[in-house]
Amino acid sequence: MGQMLHLYENGVEVLKKRSKTNLDIYWNNYNVIIWNKDHGGFFSAKGAYRNNTWGIKYEFPVSKKGTWSLPIKYVKYFK
């Protein structure tokens, strides 16, 4: 699965604040959702209509340790 970024709740909140203009991140119960604008979302099982357009949502559930594992590409928002 490659390298992952493991975040606690406060880390997710920092990611939300620092990436506000580039990513649409929100909570769905205890899952973190990252939504990316993509017109192909209309045809995708992961598609979601948000902000008057289609996109793909990526859902990250909380682990038993209380962390969320996100792809390492999101580490750039912490530099």
Alpha-carbon Rg for the chain in angstroms: 13
The reported pLDDT for the residue numbered 21 is 75
Interior CA angle at 70 toward 65 and 61, to 5°?
50
Confidence band for 2, pLDDT divided at 50, 70 and 90: confident
Confidence band for 1, pLDDT divided at 50, 70 and 90: low
The reported pLDDT for the residue numbered 22 is 76
Of residues 27 and 2, the one with the higher pLDDT is: 27
| Predicted structure pTM score | 0.85
Task: Match 């340790």 to its residue by tokens.
Answer: 65
Residues contacting 70, CB < 8 A, separation 6+: 4, 5, 7, 15, 32, 34, 60
